[in-house]
Structure 1
Amino acid sequence: MSPEDGRTARDAQSAVRSDRHGAEGRPHPLTVPVTGIFIILLIQALIVAAGFLLPVTAALLGYFILNAPRRGLQRLGVPAPIAAALFTLTITAVVVFGVTALAVPVQAFVTDLPTLMDRAMIQLTGPGGPLEAISLAAEATEEAMDEANGGNAPMQVEVVSDSSIASSVFSVAPGLLSQIIFAVCLLFFLVASGDTFIQKAIQIADRFEDKRATLQTIRMIERGLGNYLGSITLINIGLGISIGVAMWFWGMPTAYLFGIMATALNFVPFVGAVIGAAVAGISGFVFFQDTFAGFGIFLTYYALTAFEGQFVTPALLGQRLRLNKTMVFLSVAFFAWIWSVMGMVVAVPMLIVLKVICDSIPRLNKVGMFLGDADGIVSPMAGKGRRAS
């Protein structure tokens, strides 16, 4: 073969390779619509299978959180099944004790809540109330519209229904209880299996580097969730005690209930503080029959939660779990939409898991950086992934 023929063959091979790489570099025209259809179907599946996926998600998150304590007990000679039994029995005892101790006062509070709301509206819009002018303006507008229609006001039909907030809450209770039982049982089997679940996940990876990255990612998820839940639980308990004491100083009845409510609601970012402050303010307004007292109780509750969110939580968590606040809000809203109240509880842990996974995959490092706070530190796994790539 002459040199010219060799150059011609090499040029042809280079052209074929460049055409191949060019074709591979261009996205397929169906990539965007297929991806969009997949996302829509995935969201619909999450909504339809909420009754199954919610306890499964809670059990998996609990498994990652309890892995470190389970290993500590194993080093002390406690087998994994016994450790799992201890964990699940403790969770069951806490749930049973909480339901038993709070059933009567919570039932009374939920039953009286519609009455409190009605009394608050009457006092706000009644004679001498701060919203009396608005109420009078609304009545005048209705009378003007009736006169404009020739005095023939449409017949008003009042629909009488036995449904109430209390009946709605109590109707949801059996389904919620069954989901809790299912989640606790699944959590027992996951923890009792030890590291089998993690070993299977590592075995799926082909290369040694992928196996090591998978193990490091799982360990980071365990540390992140453990640090988050432990810190947030202690912070919320302290916040509940502070709010309970503050309500006691205000002279509110059953002040401890407001502390328990604050502890539970503070697991839901943003929304929990607003709901708790509104309930406390309305209760104080009705109890004291005074607008300034109700407003003061509202500000006291919200000021304590704001101080916790702006100073206490950042000081204790530091820069380990800094998340983009906008993404936290969107995550809470999304999971509340698909999984209702319990979805708001698991929203932040799910966002932590997503950020750790994105930090450990080089192609998703930018997504992980976007999910993090502006002042946060890039995860060490993200740096390793970029150097490895």
Structure 2
Amino acid sequence: MDVEIDSNEDSNAQMSVRSVAVNVCAVMLVLYALYFARSLFIPVITAVFAYLTLRPIVRQAGRWGIPAGFSAAGVMVLLGGVLALGTYLVIDPAQEIVQNAPAHVATAKDRLSFVLEKVEYFNRATDDMTTGDAVEVAAEEEPVPVEVKPAAWSTNLTILNGTGNLVSFLVVSGVLLCFLLATGDDLLRNIMRALPTLTARKQLIGVVEHVQEGLGSYLAQVSTINIGLGFAVGISMWGLGMPTPVLWGVMATTLNFIPIVGALFGACVIFLVALVDFEAAYYAFIVAGTYITLTTIEGQFITPAILGRTLEMSPVLVFLSVVVWGWMWGMMGVFLSVPILIAARMACEQYDGLAPLAAILGSRPNQTESSQESTSTRSVGASVTQ
């Protein structure tokens, strides 16, 4: 009898090990597919997240008797106008800063020479300690430096390729977003009809509604907060005498979508520009300190007060998500990292088998239970599954 029990335990252990191995292989294959086809997935996921955020506007317009196609077109026109206005306001000063970057770097090095000299002295002292009393070897003749300049056509081709990638991203994500806003509910109904059981239909509609509720509210509230921060930064930079304060306000709004890293990067940029534009080096610290103070007030007081604890996540998971998705998808991955993390948490809360993963991502038991109860009583689930 003991032999049979031991054999059953061994077989169960082997099955569990195989299951874990299969799940790990599946996750790795999915991640590789997301990395390999990133040029396809990035605009699609961007459009889907924008659709979940803007879907309540189209549905509210439908309750007022406005067709979904007209409301979707209006939303797209509004988004295009905001994007065009922001580009118009910042394109000229941004181009000027980029063109003068080499001269600005040289000026910044000269202004920070008192710091760089100490760093260089420390590096030389470290090298001397490492080498010790080794015998000096005669230095070989230095090779003649050869400068290889790329052909003008190759540089232009690189610029065209980058512009083409941006244009294709905007076209794909914009057109897909317009179609989702106009006919997304019809597509969802067709998917509901294709599912075999009523339980599966309720689970899927619960996931969609829960992700839309959490992700949509998060993006809407964070966008409002970041725009307010942009206004505060722009006014502060104008008061401190910084050139092109509109550029710094738009930069603060955009970078604040990147948690932790965005504020530090913006402070470094502000510091370097102030170091170049003002004679007194200490004034650059005042400007950068003002920027850090505003972002700290926003991050530590305003955002937690508005979002509350329902969307609170571990800073470790947020930072790891930024690093992983930034490594896989570049800058767009950095911007999409937190929405992906929130969507994954909201989806996991709807399935009992994924409750441990939802808890790791920051979900609380009462949140999971209340979300499941609320989705089970939604009238939209009955209308969609008909």
TM tier relative to shorter chain: 0.7 to 0.9
CA pair 26-275 structure 1, distance change in 2 beyond 3 A: same
2:140 maps to 1:133: no
2:206 maps to 1:191: no
Give 1:301's aligned amino acid.
Answer: Y
- Classify the secondary structure of the residue corresponding to 1:340: helix
Between 153-162 and 82-91, report the one with greater CA deviation. Answer: 153-162
For 2:136 and 2:220, how far apart are their aligned partners in 1?
A: 64
Q: Is this contact kept in 2: 1:280–1:298, CA < 8 A?
A: yes
Question: How large is the RMSD of aligned CA atoms in angstroms?
Answer: 3.4
In structure 1, the partner of 2:40 is 52
Q: What is the Cα deviation at residue 21 of structure 1?
A: 10
Question: Alpha-carbon deviations, 1:176-209, whole Å to 9, x = none?
Answer: 1210111010111111114122223433443323
Question: Alpha-carbon deviations, 1:39-80, whole Å to 9, x = none?
Answer: 333222212211111000011111211221111111111111
Q: Is this contact kept in 1: 2:229–2:298, CA < 8 A?
A: yes
For 1:368 and 1:343, how far apart are their aligned partners in 2?
A: 22
For 1:141 and 1:157, how far apart are their aligned partners in 2?
A: 28
Q: Is this contact kept in 2: 1:288–1:294, CA < 8 A?
A: yes
Q: What is the Cα deviation at residue 137 of structure 1?
A: 5.6
CA pair 24-297 structure 1, distance change in 2 beyond 3 A: same
2:113 maps to 1:116: no
Q: Is this contact kept in 2: 1:277–1:302, CA < 8 A?
A: yes
Task: Give matches, 1:111-260, under 5 Å.
Answer: 111-125=99-113, 129-136=114-121, 148-152=136-140, 154-155=142-143, 157=145, 159=147, 172-260=162-250
For 1:156 and 1:297, how far apart are their aligned partners in 2?
A: 44
In structure 2, the partner of 1:78 is 66
- Classify the secondary structure of the residue corresponding to 1:378: helix
Match of 1:324 among 311, 314, 317: 314
Give 2:169's aligned amino acid.
Answer: Q
In structure 1, the partner of 2:304 is 314
Match of 2:368 among 366, 369, 379: 379
- Classify the secondary structure of the residue corresponding to 1:327: helix
Question: Alpha-carbon deviations, 1:268-311, whole Å to 9, x = none?
Answer: 11111111000001111111133321222222211211111111
For 1:306 and 1:169, how far apart are their aligned partners in 2?
A: 37
In structure 2, the partner of 1:31 is 19
CA pair 258-33 structure 1, distance change in 2 beyond 3 A: same
**Structure 2: unaligned runs, 5 residues or longer:** 377-386
CA pair 155-260 structure 1, distance change in 2 beyond 3 A: same
2:51 maps to 1:66: no
- Classify the secondary structure of the residue corresponding to 1:252: coil
Give 1:131's aligned amino acid.
Answer: L
Question: Alpha-carbon deviations, 1:362-385, whole Å to 9, x = none?
Answer: 0111111111178x9633356659
In structure 2, the partner of 1:100 is 88
Q: Is this contact kept in 2: 1:80–1:191, CA < 8 A?
A: yes
For 1:154 and 1:140, how far apart are their aligned partners in 2?
A: 24
CA pair 357-22 structure 1, distance change in 2 beyond 3 A: farther
Give 1:57's aligned amino acid.
Answer: I
For 2:19 and 2:346, how far apart are their aligned partners in 1?
A: 26
CA pair 102-133 structure 1, distance change in 2 beyond 3 A: closer
Indicate the structure whose relative CO is greater, using CA pairs within 8 Å and at least 6 residues apart: 2
Alignment TM-score, normalising by the size of structure 2: 0.83
Question: Alpha-carbon deviations, 1:218-240, whole Å to 9, x = none?
Answer: 11111112211111111111111
- Identity %, equivalent residues: 29
- Classify the secondary structure of the residue corresponding to 1:27: helix
Q: Is this contact kept in 1: 2:313–2:361, CA < 8 A?
A: yes
Q: Is this contact kept in 1: 2:52–2:212, CA < 8 A?
A: yes
Q: What is the Cα deviation at residue 29 of structure 1?
A: 5.1
Count of matched residue positions in the alignment of Structure 1 and Structure 2: 365
For 1:22 and 1:66, how far apart are their aligned partners in 2?
A: 52
Give 1:362's aligned amino acid.
Answer: D
Question: Alpha-carbon deviations, 1:121-164, whole Å to 9, x = none?
Answer: 23222xxx23323335657888998993335464473646579x
Give 2:214's aligned amino acid.
Answer: G
Between 135-144 and 276-285, report the one with greater CA deviation. Answer: 135-144
In structure 2, the partner of 1:4 is none
CA pair 215-373 structure 1, distance change in 2 beyond 3 A: closer
For 1:101 and 1:338, how far apart are their aligned partners in 2?
A: 31
Q: Is this contact kept in 2: 1:240–1:260, CA < 8 A?
A: yes
Give 1:36's aligned amino acid.
Answer: V
- Classify the secondary structure of the residue corresponding to 1:289: coil
Q: Is this contact kept in 1: 2:210–2:371, CA < 8 A?
A: no
Task: Give matches, 1:346-357, under 5 Å.
Answer: 346-357=336-347
Match of 2:271 among 271, 281, 305: 281
Give 1:369's aligned amino acid.
Answer: A
Give 1:68's aligned amino acid.
Answer: P
CA pair 91-130 structure 1, distance change in 2 beyond 3 A: same
Between 321-330 and 200-209, report the one with greater CA deviation. Answer: 200-209
